[in-house]
Amino acid sequence: MTAYRTLEQRFARLAALEGAAGILGWDAQTLMPDGAAEARGDQLAILRGMAHEILTAPETAGELDAAEAAGGLDPWPAANLREMRRVQAHAGAVPRDLVEASSRAVSRSEMVWREARRDSDFARLAPHLAEVLRLQREIGQAKGAALGLDPYDALLDSYDPGMRRAVIDPLFSDLTGWLPDLIARAREFQGARPEPLPLAGPFDVAVQRDLGLRLMAALGFDFSRGRLDISLHPFCGGATDDVRITTRYDEADFGRALMGVLHESGHALYEQGRPAPWRHQPVGAARGMSLHESQSLIVEMQACRSHEFFAYLAPLLREAFGRSGPEWSPENLHALNTRVRPGFIRVDADEATYPAHILLRYRLETAMIAGDLAVADLPGAFNDGMQELLGLVVPNDRLGCLQDIHWPSGAFGYFPTYTLGALAAAQLFRAARAAEPALPGCLAQGDFAPLRDWLRANVHEVGSLLGTDDLLTRATGAALGMDAFRAHLEARYLGA
C-alpha cells in the first residue's frame, strides 16, 4: 500500500495546482484587467508545467507500476489507481515544452478572441487560432501515438474518457437523418397555434441577478462553496469546493441570463456533489464532459423548460419585474421558452435546433485536426454549414465562427459532448421520473430535492468509479443511445 498512498499524496498536490489554475482562469474571464493578460498567461503556463512535471516524473511511473503489481485494493482505491494511470498516460505523451507553449498560445488567443468577436474581425484572430490549432494537432498526434488512437480520438478522450468517433459517428448519422424533419414538423405544429405573446422589456440587470440567485438556491447550490459572476461566455469553473459560475445579461431579454444560470448551475451541482472523501483524487472527478453536459441539460432543458417548472416560475417573474397580464402566464412562458426557431447563436438555440450547431462544429473540428480544413477557410466552411443544416445565411463572423470561445481556447474534441450530454440527460431524466413519480409535481412547487437527490446518488457521488456507459446502464438500464432523446423531442414539440 505504500506506493498507492504516496500516489494519493502526489495527486492531491496535483489537484491543488489544478484548482489554482482554475481560479486564475476564472479571474481571466471575469475580473482581470486586459493589461495583465500576458503575465496571467505565463502564470497559467507555469502551473500547468508544474502539474505536468508531477505526472511525468519517473517516481510517479514507478509508483504506478508498484501499486498495480501489488493489487489487493478495494473498489474505490482500485478505480482511483486506474484513473491515475489514465491521467498519467495522457500527460506522459506530451513534452512539457509543448504543454507550456499551448497554454501560452491559448491565453493569447482567448484575449484576442474577445476583441475579434466584438468587432466581427476574424482576420485578427486567425494567426492566433492557427497557432493554437497547430499545437493541438501536435498534442493529438503525440497522445495518439502513445495511446494507440487517432489524433482526434486522443483529444476527445481528454474530455470524455473512453469516447471515440466510432461511437459518435453512428449516433450523429442517425441524428442527421431525422432531425431536419422533426424541426420542420415542430415548426409546422407550432405555426398552427397562436403565436406566444412577447415580453416587453427592459428588465433590470440587478433584478435578473437576484432572480438567478433565488433559483440557484432552489436548485440546491451551496453559496458557501461557490458564486455567480458575469463573463462574455457563460461557464462553470473554479476549483474543488470553490465552484464559480457565470452568465451574461441582456436588458431586453432576461431569459438568456436566466437559462444560462440554470444551465451552469447544473454543472455546479455536479461539482459540489462529487464524493467528498475522493474530491482531491482522480476517481472523485466528474466522469467526463458528456455526463457533465447531461447535468446542465437535465436542469435547463429537461426540468426547467417543462410545463411544471413554469407553473412555479411565473409568479416569481411577475413579482420580480412587477408585471402582470396574459403574457406572464405559465402557458405563455412555456410557449416562449420552447419555440423551435433556427438562429445563429449556439448558446441561445432551442433544444431541437441545438444539435445542428454541434453537428456542424464536430464536422469542422475533425477536419481541422485532420489537416483537411485550414483556419483561413473556416469562416466560409462555417457559413456553408449553417445554410445547409439550419437554412441560415450568416451575415458576419461575430454571428458565425467567432461566437464560441472553444477553439481559441484549444478545446478541440469538446463540442460533441454537448449533444452526447443531451442524449444522456434524456435517459437520466426518464429514469429519475420513473424512480420518483412525484417529481413533476415537486418541480411545480419549486422543490428540486427529489431530482437533485436522485442525481446525487446515481451520478454525482459516483465520481469516476464507473465508466460512462456503465454508469448510465446502472442508472437507466441502458448504455448511451438516441431513443430517449428522440422520444423527448417528439413529446415536447410534436405532442406525440
Catalytic machinery residues: 264
Distant-in-sequence, close-in-space partners of 88: CB < 8 Å, separation ≥ 6: 55, 56, 60, 61, 64
Lookup: cell for 277: 472523501
3-state secondary structure 49-94: HHHHHHHHCHHHHHHHHHHHHHCCCCHHHHHHHHHHHHHHHHHHCC
The three-state (H, E, C) secondary structure of 349-377, written as one string:
CCCCCHHHHHHHHHHHHHHHHHCCCCHHH
End-to-end CA distance of the chain: 57
Inter-residue contact 255 to 339 (CB < 8 Å): no
Sign of CA dihedral 313, 314, 317, 319: negative
Other CB atoms within 10 Å distance of the CB of residue 325: 11
Opening angle at CA 436, ends 431 and 440, nearest 5: 95
Rounded-to-integer distance, Cα 64 and Cα 85, Å: 7
Q: What CA–CA distances, in Å, run from 133 to 111, 155, 227?
A: 16, 12, 33
